[in-house]
Amino acid sequence: MIPNTLRAAADARGFRIGAAADPGLLEMEPEYASTLCGQFNMLTPENVMKSGPIHPASDRYEFGPADALMRFARRHDMQVRGHTLVWHNQMADWLSHRSWTPGEWRSRMEEHIAAVAGRYAGQIAAWDVVNEAIADDGSLRASPWLKGIGPTYLESAFRAAHQADPAARLFYNDYGAEGLGAKSDGVLHLVRKLLDRDVPIHGVGLQMHVELNDYPLPGQVADNMERLGRLGLEVQITELDVRLPQPCSTAALERQAQLYGDILDAGLAAPNCTALTLWGVSDRHSWVPGFFHGWDHALVFDAEYRPKPAYHALLKRLVQAGCKDRPGEQGASPPPS
Ligand code: G3I
């Protein structure tokens, strides 16, 4: 039987295809929930596990929304990517406007990691332990964590996460470092240093937020994945979306489909790439229009949850990849794109 959902095709290939998810929509929109569990075998909490939402006061955690997503994932046999333990954005006010000593900053960070990663220990497939710590020029971003603790904050964060959840694969996650260039060289240098110090890091997340006319060349993405693989690291495409200029044309949707397919092909061809996550379920709730005025339509389901050409491009490639892995199925023709 030829798989007719992204999830079934990814399962047949032993690949993970995920979506960023908002627990508040699970109850509000049945079609959101059914698309999430029907088309994806993995989910990433889009916001509810970030320090601001989950740890709003120094002595208070709000685990409810994250717990709801964990329950949904368990009920539908989906893996969860934890996102994210240490980031300079969406930090709780109590955490970001303080003048602590480096020791106090480190303790607060380690306490946060122990509480959040510890709560879900054994249930998270991969954690984005540190998000976006590298600046465009490849140097360490001057985040509150770097200013508060110093460059060792990354090592401390990964060690604390591993102590809290030894089962989770621990990732460094960033944008603009998917292909080759100063920033991806900076990420390579960072993870190599961590590995040299026996820091428990297992993978690098390539966010892949791109637009139709500005994206990393798939060949360079492949080269970057390969050089990370040479360090023994896993890679995952963690936040893929391809924003289009409004008004959206048929030609743009077709080019978007081609780009989605090319990015998935690069991931499927890389032995160390284990997953691809879309940064949202459908265009109705994408972050893009709120952050990029005049851009939208970035995902593979439209605002009415109808599959777009990009959906069919992903399905076709996943089915083809699955057939390649099962020689007996060579004859199975992929669904029309
Ligand atoms: O929850 C509050 C709500 O109570 C309030 O009424 C409303 C208006 O102020 O804001 C709501 O919080 C918003 C949150 O999304 C949840 O919707 C924040 O303002 C808004 O800034 C936040 O945006 C998120 C953004 O990260 C923050 O930087 C996006 O949804 C989310 O998609 C985006 O995701 C990031 C990844 O985590 C890291 N990689 C880049 C990616 C895109 O920026």
Atom of ligand 1 at shortest range from CA of 20: 32
Q: Among the options 132, 155, 178, 234, which is catalytic?
A: 132
CA 259 to centroid of ligand 1, rounded, Å: 26
pTM of the model: 0.95
Average pLDDT over all residues of the chain: 94
pLDDT for 159 equals 98
Cβ atoms of residues 3 and 38 within 8 Å: no
Mean pLDDT within 98-103: 89
Does residue 155 have an active-site annotation?
no
pLDDT for 160 equals 98
With a cut of 80, say whether residue 106 has pLDDT above it.
Answer: yes
CA 331 to centroid of ligand 1, rounded, Å: 45
> What is the token pair recorded at 301?
């389901």
Q: Which amino acid is present at 175?
A: Y
173-193 pLDDT per residue, tens? 999 999 999 999 999 999 999
Residues with CB under 6 A from ligand 1: 46-47, 89-90, 131, 175, 207, 239, 287
Cβ atoms of residues 15 and 50 within 8 Å: no
pLDDT for 97 equals 67
Mean pLDDT within 147-170: 98
CA 47 to centroid of ligand 1, rounded, Å: 6
**What residues have CB less than 8 Å from 281, skipping those under 6 apart?**
19, 20, 21, 25, 32, 35, 36, 40, 299, 301, 305
Q: Which residue has the higher pLDDT, 93 or 28?
A: 28
In angstroms, the CA 112 to CA 99 distance is 18
pLDDT for 98 equals 77
pLDDT for 324 equals 64
Q: Which residue has the higher pLDDT, 37 or 328?
A: 37
Cβ atoms of residues 214 and 261 within 8 Å: no
In angstroms, the CA 13 to CA 10 distance is 5
CA distances from 233 to 94, 195, 262, 270, 272 (A): 35, 10, 22, 12, 7
- Paired with 16 in beta bridges are 275
29-87 pLDDT per residue, tens? 999 999 999 999 999 999 999 999 999 999 999 999 999 999 999 999 999 999 999 99
Does residue 132 have an active-site annotation?
yes
CA 48 to centroid of ligand 1, rounded, Å: 9
DSSP state of 306: P
> What is the token pair recorded at 230?
């040479």
Which residue among 51, 90, 237 is best mutated to probe the pocket of ligand 1, counting the most ligand atoms within 8 A of its Cβ?
90
In angstroms, the CA 186 to CA 66 distance is 32
